Amino acid sequence: MAAELTFIENADLTRFNTLGLPARARFLAKVSNEAALLHVLRSVTAQRMPVEILGGGSNLVLAGNVPALVIQPCLMGRQVLSTHGDAVLVEAGAGENWHAFTQWTIAQGLSGLENLSLIPGSVGASPVQNIGAYGVEIADVMHSLTAIDRLTGARVELAAAACAFAYRDSLFKSRAPGRYIITKVRFLLSRKPTIRLDYGDIRREIERLGIVQVTPRAVANAVIAIRQSKLPDPTKLGNAGSFFKNPVVPVTQADELRLRFPGLVSYPQTVGVKLAAGWLIEQAGWKGRNQGAVGVHDRQALVLIHRGGGSGAQLLQLAADVRASVLDKFGVVLEQEPVIWGR
């Protein structure tokens, strides 16, 4: 068991969150297989204190020290499970790096995840947030997953339909937070590409790069170039990617806002209208502004940054100030994407 489990007391979490915020966990358990995970969950420590699950730390704000047992699933591996015509089922361990996995699928000649390239985090965390970008989200491509149910201690298989996916939301995030620990995720991809170019700047970037044959690899390269031009590298500048969800408002409210702000960036939905949170924040005057060691990125107002030496409390105060400003100017409530740990 020793090789499959690393147990650390008073563990420093600074390098385990992409914002680079300082905090310590009462205990940190790094597990590399399901047996080690079950061993930790059955331990006296897990029975006596709260348990938190740590993925890639890219959707996390550490507001202070974490008085909990933090479990980091480091289950690795990726494989093709089956092929039926053009449909291909692939599987990855929860600890796999998300971007590396997307690029592996493209190298296998598969389409479906190219628009989700360069999103930070782990495979196991991707269904929790129902990550999405450029017109594609996990709900569109996930087939099923394996998880440990903490209520029963049993290994369960959940189909995508059972995951209650919604915009940046899922069963694991809002309906049953903390109940399931994801160990493997499976995706249904295709050898016949379905190219998605109609969201954001992908088509313009494809043209700028002079790409004639639009393949999944070409789309991935365009997405990577766009993200690199707009979003800071978390290894160089602390950030958690998009800090706020794009709000969805009633059509009548969107029409009223459009009369007052003709440049309003919006996207029609089945119900309501989705507004670009980054545009709202920028118009409220926050783009490039700093508050001590934290601030709003100067190229993408949707991204809050930590330059080092700051705290989770400072970042959360900045987020609260941004929300209040957008509410005052537009009457729109912004909802934060990252979860908060600590005190």
**Catalytic positions, written as ranges:** 168, 242, 337
Residue type at 68? A
Q: Give the strands of the sheet with 78-84, arranged side by side.
A: 78-84, 87-93, 180-190, 142-149, 155-159
Strands (DSSP E) along 13-65, which ranges? 24-31, 51-53, 60-62
Exposed, middle or buried: residue 179 (CB in 10 Å: 0-12, 13-18, 19+)? Answer: middle
* Tokens found for residue 336: 């934060």
CA distances from 287 to 16, 110, 163, 278 (A): 27, 38, 35, 9
Q: What is the DSSP string of 92-125?
A: EETTSBHHHHHHHHHHTT-BSSGGGTT--SBTTT
Residue 208 parent element (H or E): helix 202-208
Query: Dihedral of CA 337/338/342/343: which sign?
Result: negative
Exposed, middle or buried: residue 199 (CB in 10 Å: 0-12, 13-18, 19+)? Answer: middle
* Tokens found for residue 135: 């017109």
